[in-house]
Structure 1
Amino acid sequence: MTTLIRPWTGSVDLRREVSVVSPAPRDVWRQALAADPSALPSQTPEWTDWLCRTRGFTDASRLYEFADGRRLLLPLLARTAAGVRLTEESMPYGFGYGGPLVMGGEPSPDQARAVLDDLARRPVLRSSLAPLPRASAKWSAIAPPGVVRVPYLAHVLDLEGGFEQVRSTRFRSGAKRNIRRALKQPLEVRSGAGSGVVEAFAELNRRAVERWARQRGQPLWLARLVDRQRDRVGQLASAIDALGPMVRAWTAYLHGEPVAVNVALHFGAQAYGWLSAVDADLARRTQAGALLLSLELEEACASGVRWFQLGESDPGSGVAQYKELYGGVPVSWSALRFERLPMTAADHRLRAVAGRLASLGRGRAGAVDR
């Protein structure tokens, strides 16, 4: 379907109408991927199709064609209930980064404003843009008043120069020590998505759910229910089938027992550390996670990847410190949300209540009758 939008009245270069086609034609989508060196795995049509098939989304991608012949293509996923479209997001939380693919370089400020203007006018409860963290500042700078900014902390590793340079100049001494320790262990390491990775991931994920329940003082049945809703194992199994060579996996075993699994997504010059699972005790003892991350980064360098996205963490957390140990550079960024109802504020309140309940559960679990 083709529609027409008008840029904001403040635009200088785009006083004429902008044509929008949705869903975006797949042949143009392929051209946009090939022409954008920053294209991400989560911006591919395979990613969209996979999420539509397995998570109930609808392809709402939009192709913007400007008067000067420039084209931007925005991967966009819609959530529908009872036939009513509720949200349109690029990308929904937990499903990678979005933002437009740009043919011929970065969009001009006016072209970027036209995209945000279009999202702000969408007849849904929420539309959102979660761009690549390193590009986020440019989008935030032109966002209109009233937009909801959701802050995150990501870590990004620059692989320029190849693995030896990354290892020697970006890994900290603690990272190198962990890898040396891992190499002394009787670990068996397998690479590839067909090397029993789903079975190993399922077992490690099961152990992790039980560990989290104990740590939080949470009933095991509730922890398992939350895990079933997240369906990390099912996501991995279906992604291997749907995404093919984009999925790269590494698995470590100790005496035949799975210790750690790392799964990354590759596309062009970008890689994204997607899923991981470990046996906390065995991984701490053997440093298997350090070895897998090192091998993962070495493979990315050999594949021509320039930027490795290490994902989001809480500032100052152990996870954030771990990423920095291996050269990850912290990048503060914000997702932009246009909301007709205060959905983000409501979500924050629900999370706060859940956190208080979890703390209460931990207190009760640790109480001693006197």
Structure 2
Amino acid sequence: MNAPAVLLINTSAGPVQVTTPVPRETWWMLARTDAATNVTQTPAWLDCVCATGPFRDASRLYEFESGGRLVLPLVTRRRRPPSLTAQESWPGGWGVGGPVSSGRVGPREARAVFDDLARLPALRVGVRLRPEDSEVWAGAVPAGFQEDRHTVHVLDLEGGFGEVWERRFHQSVRRGVRRAERSDVDVEVNRTGRLVPEFYQLFEQSIVRWAARQHEPLALARWRRKRAFPREQLEAVADLLGESCAIWMARRAGEPAAAIVVLRHGQHAKFWHAAMNRDLAHPVRANHLLHRLAVDDACAAGCLRYDMGGSRQGASLAAFKEGFGADLFVSPRYYRERLPVSAVDRGLRTAVKRVIRFQEG
């Protein structure tokens, strides 16, 4: 790996020293200092991204005159000239990136980072923010950047599992959990990656169900879903995160029925992926039991948030998450493009959906 480059740049907040890529020990120190840091904002997550895609580390460390420091996770594609590639935090499907800092980030610091990103020669620069940062950074976005509005459901774990069970889980969820507990469901959790093959078999079964529900040709659905979430991605995350990656598996009569992947860093647990055999899992509410156990485990580990990920408002998945007491938060993505790549991509996707009469699930 090449030695980090150290630059001094002028911004609207004054001169700022930028180091890229960020030294690992500095990044880890800030990740431990910033209590809001998600697992997807750590150096380990960057390693996962780079291990399963044509990416390299392009992270940037900002050091301000005030003494504050901020890390912005970024990757760029390998073996492409800057003008023909993107620098993103993160690429599609890898979730929230955004700043990790040693203290409170104000509008001046946020604008300084945007000033720097605006000058990068990349074809596209994109940053997906965690909900805690959306207000400050939204007020600092300069002209030329556009917004993709994402939302996430987050369950507050303050007070411990007893408080969550009694006051945040809805009655229907508690009823579903008890139904699963009375049924023939057996659950195990593994943090070594041993359950990756069984999880991915369930995921492939789920693709068939999703394709039928969305009126999507099965071959297209398989290509699209497995391209977005290849088995190698789950294997890399399980391997590189180790104990921080838990696969919860529910079985009926020894057969996999449902499974979820939950990641953890500091005070944050993140529900990352799920898959199920609906015929086995749904009648006994296996997914309710899996999340109940994962939430209990997160509380026992000292987590204060259980991120249940994004879903469209009004969708059945959103209703499922809200049943656990998860609240909806904005997690915006801001991006700047030198050519309208995203607009063209959206147009093509919309045209294909119209042709196949795609139905949003």
Q: Is 2:259–2:276's contact at 8 Å kept on the other side of the alignment?
A: yes
Match of 1:125 among 91, 102, 123: 123
The answer for the alignment partner of 1:137 in structure 2 is 135
The answer for the alignment partner of 1:92 in structure 2 is 91
Q: Distance in 2 between matches of 1:152 and 1:337?
A: 13
**Gaps (5+ residues) in structure 1?**
9-13, 363-370
Structure 2 residue 42 is matched with structure 1 residue 36: no
The answer for the alignment partner of 1:170 in structure 2 is 168
Structure 1 counterpart of 2:93, one-letter code: G
Structure 1 counterpart of 2:98, one-letter code: G
SS at match of 1:264: strand
Question: Deviation of residue 117 (structure 1)?
Answer: 1.1
Q: Distance in 2 between matches of 1:275 and 1:205?
A: 9
Q: Is 1:18–1:67's contact at 8 Å kept on the other side of the alignment?
A: yes
The answer for the alignment partner of 2:223 in structure 1 is 225
Question: Deviation of residue 229 (structure 1)?
Answer: 1.8
Structure 2 residue 255 is matched with structure 1 residue 251: no
Question: Deviation of residue 300 (structure 1)?
Answer: 0.5
Question: Deviation of residue 27 (structure 1)?
Answer: 1.6
The answer for the alignment partner of 1:265 in structure 2 is 263
Question: Deviation of residue 316 (structure 1)?
Answer: 0.8
Question: Deviation of residue 198 (structure 1)?
Answer: 1.2
SS at match of 1:338: strand
Question: Deviation of residue 69 (structure 1)?
Answer: 2.0
SS at match of 2:332: strand
SS at match of 1:142: coil
Question: Deviation of residue 21 (structure 1)?
Answer: 0.5
Question: Deviation of residue 358 (structure 1)?
Answer: 2.6
Q: Distance in 1 between matches of 2:239 and 2:267?
A: 22
**Gaps (5+ residues) in structure 2?**
none
Q: Distance in 1 between matches of 2:215 and 2:95?
A: 30
Question: Deviation of residue 234 (structure 1)?
Answer: 2.2
Mean alpha-carbon deviation: is it higher for 213-222 or for 297-306?
213-222
The answer for the alignment partner of 2:181 in structure 1 is 183
Structure 2 counterpart of 1:2, one-letter code: V
Q: Distance in 1 between matches of 2:332 and 2:80?
A: 31
The answer for the alignment partner of 2:9 in structure 1 is 5
Sort the Cα spacing of 1:217 and 1:320 in 2 relative to 1 into closer, same or farther, 3 A: closer
The answer for the alignment partner of 2:47 in structure 1 is 49
Q: Is 1:216–1:358's contact at 8 Å kept on the other side of the alignment?
A: no
Sort the Cα spacing of 1:194 and 1:31 in 2 relative to 1 into closer, same or farther, 3 A: closer
Q: Is 2:193–2:235's contact at 8 Å kept on the other side of the alignment?
A: no
TM-score (norm 2): 0.93
| Superimposed CA distance per residue, residues 300-342 of structure 1 (whole angstroms, 9 cap, x where no aligned partner) | 0001111111111111111111110001101133211111112
Q: Distance in 1 between matches of 2:54 and 2:68?
A: 32
Calculate percent identity across the aligned residue pairs.
Answer: 37
| Superimposed CA distance per residue, residues 66-87 of structure 1 (whole angstroms, 9 cap, x where no aligned partner) | 1222211111111245444611
The answer for the alignment partner of 2:279 in structure 1 is 281
Mean alpha-carbon deviation: is it higher for 80-89 or for 36-45?
80-89
Sort the Cα spacing of 1:332 and 1:35 in 2 relative to 1 into closer, same or farther, 3 A: closer
| Superimposed CA distance per residue, residues 147-176 of structure 1 (whole angstroms, 9 cap, x where no aligned partner) | 111012211111000011011101111111
The answer for the alignment partner of 1:366 in structure 2 is none
Q: Distance in 2 between matches of 1:210 and 1:79?
A: 32
Question: Deviation of residue 266 (structure 1)?
Answer: 0.3
Q: Is 2:192–2:243's contact at 8 Å kept on the other side of the alignment?
A: no
| Superimposed CA distance per residue, residues 251-282 of structure 1 (whole angstroms, 9 cap, x where no aligned partner) | 00000110111111100011111111011222
The answer for the alignment partner of 1:201 in structure 2 is 199
Q: Is 2:214–2:358's contact at 8 Å kept on the other side of the alignment?
A: no
Match of 1:313 among 311, 326, 339: 311
Q: Distance in 1 between matches of 2:146 and 2:28?
A: 31
Structure 1 counterpart of 2:20, one-letter code: S
Structural mapping, 1:330-345, within 5 Å: 330-345=328-343
The structure with the largest alpha-carbon Rg is: 1
- Give the count of matched residue pairs: 355
Structure 1 counterpart of 2:85, one-letter code: L
TM-score (norm 1): 0.91
Question: Deviation of residue 291 (structure 1)?
Answer: 0.2
Q: Distance in 2 between matches of 1:330 and 1:149?
A: 18
